[in-house]
Structure 1
Amino acid sequence: MLWGIQASFLSPALALILVDLFDATTAEVGWVLAAYNASGFVFSLLIPALADRRRDYLGPMLLCGVLTCLLAGALSIVTTIPLAAIALIVLAGPAGVGSSLLYAHLRATGARPADVVNTRAIFSVAWIAGPPLATFIMGSFGTRAILVAIAAVAILGMATTAAMMRGKHGGTAASGPKTEAEPGEAVGKLGIVLIVLAFVLLQAGNFTGMSIMAVYVTETLHIDIIWAGIALGVAAALEVPALLIIGRIGERVSPLVLIATSCLAGIAYYAGVAFATGPVALIALQILNAWAFAGIAGVGLTLFQQLIPRPGLSTGIFQNTRRIGAIVAGPVIAIGAMTALEQRGIFVACAIITAVALVVIALAARASGRRAPR
C-alpha cells in the first residue's frame, strides 16, 4: 500500500511540480519526463538484476526509499529545470524500482501467484485514493507540500521494509524444489519473446485509451470532461475485485487462457468505446476495461515471473513493457486519428492491436503445446 501511495503521489503530480516550481514549458516537461522514463527503463533492469545475483531484494528496496527521500529534498532545494532533471534521472529513476523489487521478493520467498496478484490489487487500491489525495494536498498547502508527503510515505515504507528484513528467517529464497515444469521451460525462448511482444501491444492499447480519454469525451462524445474522470475511476475501482478474482482462479486456469480472456475483453471494450454515444455506455464498458487491465497487470506479472527464473529481472522486464507500450501509444494515437473515423479510429486501432496481441498469445500457446511432450 505504501509503495502504491508513493507512486500515485509522484507520477500524476510530476508535470505540475515541474511547471509550478521550475517554470518549465510544455516542451521542457516533455523532454524531462522522457529522460526520467529512460532512466527508469535502465534502472528497472539493472537494479533487479543485481538483486537477483545477491538474492536480496529488501536491501535494494530500502535504498529505493532513501533515494525517494533524497529526491524530495533535491526538488525542494534546486531552482532550475536542468537541476531538477538531473535529480529525476539520478534519483527518481532508481527509486521507482522499489515496487518491482517487492514483487520479486515475494516470488523469491516462495509466494504463490495468487499472493502476488493480491498484492498487486492492494497497489491498485492505493492508486484509487492516491491521486485525489495528492491534488487535495497541493490545493490546500501548495505544490511543495506534496514533496513532503512523498518523503513521509517513503519513510514509512522504509520502516516497513526494515521490519521485513528483521523478520526474515533463513534467507530470501524459500521456495522448495519444483515438482512440475515452469511455463518458461515449456514455452521456450521463442515463446517468451512472443509473450513480451504481446504485452507491449496490450500495454500500448491500454495506455492509448487512458491517455486520450479526456480529449475523446469532450471532442467526440461532446459531454463534460468529468465523465472521463468518472470512467477511469470506475475502471480503477473495478480493477481491484477483478484482480482478486483472477488471484482465486489463476491456480486452476492456465495464465495464457486468462490473458486470452483479457484480450477478448479489451477488444470488446475498445470497439464499444469507439461507437459509444453517451456517458451511460462509456461507464458500463468499464467492466470490460477492468477485466482487460487486471489480466495485463495481475496475470502478466506472475506469468513473467514464471517464464523468467530470475525474480528481479522478470519483474523489471514486465514493468518495462509498460514503458515501451507508452512509446508505441504515440503512433497509435496519430495513425488512428488520421482515419475516416477520426478520434473513434484511435479506439478501433486499440482493438486491432489487442487482437494482434491475442494472435501472438495463441502462437505462444502453440509453442508451449509443441514443447510440453519433450
Structure 2
Amino acid sequence: MNDSNDHSQGNSWQNITFALSIGLLTASINPNLSLYLYERFKVDPASLSLLLGLNSVAGLIFTAAIPAISDRFSDLRPVLCLVCLGSFCGLSAIPFIAEPMMLGMLFVLLLGPYSATSSLFFSYIRRTHPSGSAVLKLRSLFSLAWVIGPASATAAMTAFGISSIFWISAALCLANSVFIWTMPPSKLLKPPPKKRSSGDDIGMISLMFCGFVLLLGTNFITGNAMALLLHQELEASIIQVGLASSLAAAVEIPLFYLLSRFSEKYGRISFFQYGCAAGFLYCVGLASAQNYLQVLLLQPFNAIFVVTVIGTGLTWFQELHPTKVGLMTGLFSNASRVSAILSAPILGATASYFSSYRGPLLAAVAMVVMGSAILIYVARKQSQQPSLSIT
C-alpha cells in the first residue's frame, strides 16, 4: 500500500466512526464507574477498591491475551466483532446485577474483554495501514472523546438514570459488532529481515516497557495530583479542574496530526526528545505553580508530553514485531495499566510525606528523567539496527 492510499484510507469515515465510538465508550464508562458503584450499591471504600481492582486485573489479563491471540488470525474483524458482542452482553447485564460482588465477577468474565477493544482496533489499523501515520491520526479522536465523553455521560446519568450510561454503551457495542463488517479485511504483515537474536529483542522490549511504565506513570501522577492540587491547595472549583483537564485533551488533538507529519519528515526520535523535555518542564512548573492561571498555561506542555508518550509508544511497539502487532499493542496498553498500579502508592506516599500534592510532582520529575533516559538509550541502540529502528 502506498503512502497516499495509507493517508486517505487512514481518514476513511469507517475508521473515524469506529475510533470515535471506542473513545467515547472508554471516556464515558471509566471515569464514571466508581460513581455508579457508590450511588447504586453504597459500597464502602474497601469494597469499592476491590471492585475497581478486579476490573483492572481483568483488563490487564485480557488486554494481554486477546490481542496476542488475534495475531493468529489474518482478518481481525471476527475477533473485534466477538469482543464487541461480549462487551454488549456485559454492559447490558450490569443494571440487572443486585449484588456488588456478583458485579465483580461480571467485570472479570465479560468486561475484561471490553478492555481489549482499543488495542484490537489499533492492531487492525496497523495491519491495514502499515506506515503507522493512521494510528496517530485516529488516536487523536480518543482525545476528542475525552473532551466530550465524561460530561456527556454524567448528563445522561442525571437525565435518564444512573444505569442509562450502560444501556447506551451496550447499544453502541452492538452497533459496532455489525459496523465492523463494513470495513475492509486486514492482512498479516510480512516480517522484516532478522538482524538480531531473540534474546536481544526481549532485552530491548523489556527496557522499553520499563521506560514507558515510568513515563505513563508520570502522566498518571500529574493527572491526579493536578486535580487535587488545584482543588485542595489552590482552591479551584470542580468546574475549573475539569476545564484544565479538557484544555490539555483539546490541545492533544492537533498535536497527534503534527506528530505524524513531524515524525515522517525528521524521525520520531527528535519529537520524542522534545516531548520528554516538555514533560520535565510540566512537572517542574506544576510543582511550583502558585495559582490557577499558571496551571492553565502549563497545559500545552502536558499535551505535548502525553502525545509524545502515547503516539510514539504505540507505533514504536507495533514496529518491533509486525507479525505480532496484536501482542505488541496489548503490551503497550498494559504498560499504562501497570504504571497506574505502581504509581498509585507513590502518589499517596509522597503526598503524605510532604503534606502536599506537590510531593508527588517531585516524584514525577524523577520518573520522567529516568524513563526518558532509558528510552533515549534504547532508541540510539536501535538506530544502529535498522530492522528495529524507530526513525
Paired letter, 1:331: P
CA distance in 1, matches of 2:38, 2:307: 33
Helix, strand or coil at the partner of 2:187: coil
The worse-fitting range, judged by mean Cα deviation, of 191-200 and 105-114 is: 105-114
Equivalents in 1 of 2:311, 2:195: separation in Å?
18
Q: 2: distance between equivalents of 1:132 and 1:335? A: 31
Cα contact 1:37–1:323 (8 A) shared by 2: yes
Q: Following TM superposition, where does structure 1 have runs of at least 4 consecutive aligned residues deviating by more than 6 angstroms?
A: 180-185
Matched, 1:358 2:372: yes
Determine helix, strand or coil for the equivalent of 2:255. Answer: helix
Give the TM-score normalised by structure 1.
0.92
CA contact 1:256–1:361 (8 Å) conserved in 2: no
Shift of 1:182: 9.6
CA distance in 1, matches of 2:305, 2:197: 23
Whole-angstrom distance in 2 between the partners of 1:321 and 1:184: 24
1:192 is the counterpart of 2:200: no
Match of 2:33 among 7, 14, 24: 14
Query: Aligned pair in 2 of structure 1 residues 35, 362: CA closer, same or farther (>3 Å)?
Result: same
Offset of residue 202 of structure 1: 0.6
- Give secondary structure in 2 for the equivalent of 1:24: coil
Partners of 1:254 and 1:336 lie apart in 2 by 37
> Is 1:107 matched with 2:126?
yes
AA in 2 matched with 1:306: E
Distance 1:29 1:183, change over 3 A: farther
2:149 corresponds to which of 130, 134, 137: 130
User: Partner letter of residue 71 of structure 2?
Assistant: D
Q: Please point out which of 351, 374, 378 is paired with 1:337.
A: 351
Work out the CA distance in 1 between the residues paired with 2:387 and 2:181.
45
1:222 aligns with 2:235: yes
**Shift of the alpha carbon at 1:252?**
2.5
Change (3 A) 1:190 1:82: same
Counterpart for residue 147 of structure 1: 166
Note if contact 2:191-2:321 (Cα within 8 Å) is conserved in structure 1. no
Give, in whole Å, the separation in 1 of the partners of 2:40 and 2:214.
36
> Structure 1 residue 77 and structure 2 residue 96: aligned?
yes
CA separation in 1, counterparts of 2:39 and 2:190? 52
Correspondence for 1:244:
257
Contact 1:5/1:153 (CA < 8 Å) preserved in 2? no
Q: Deviations over 1:163-183 (max 9, x none)?
A: 22xx43xxx2265685x8899
Match of 1:156 in 2: 175
- Matched letter for residue 234 of structure 1: L
Provide the C-alpha distance between the structure 2 equivalents of 1:140 and 1:26, rounded to a whole number of angstroms: 27
Give distance in 1, aligned partners of 2:101 and 2:94: 11
Q: Give the superposition deviation at 1:34.
A: 0.6
Native 8 Å contact 1:337 1:345 kept in 2: yes
Paired residues, what number?
Answer: 368
1:286 is the counterpart of 2:305: no
Aligned equivalents of 1:370 and 1:68: distance in 2? 43
1:256-335 to 2 correspondence within 5 Å? 256-309=269-322, 310-335=324-349
Cα deviation for residue 230 of structure 1 reads 1.2
Instruction: Give the Cα–Cα distance (whole angstroms) in 1 for the partners of residues 133 and 368 of structure 2.
Output: 25
User: What is the deviation of 1:372?
Assistant: 5.4
Asked whether the equivalents of residues 194 and 363 of structure 1 are also in contact (C-alpha less than 8 Å), the reply is no
Distance 1:288 1:257 in 2: 16
Q: Is the 8 A contact 1:58 1:101 kept in 2?
A: no
* Distance in 1 (alpha carbons) for counterparts of 2:376 and 2:315: 18
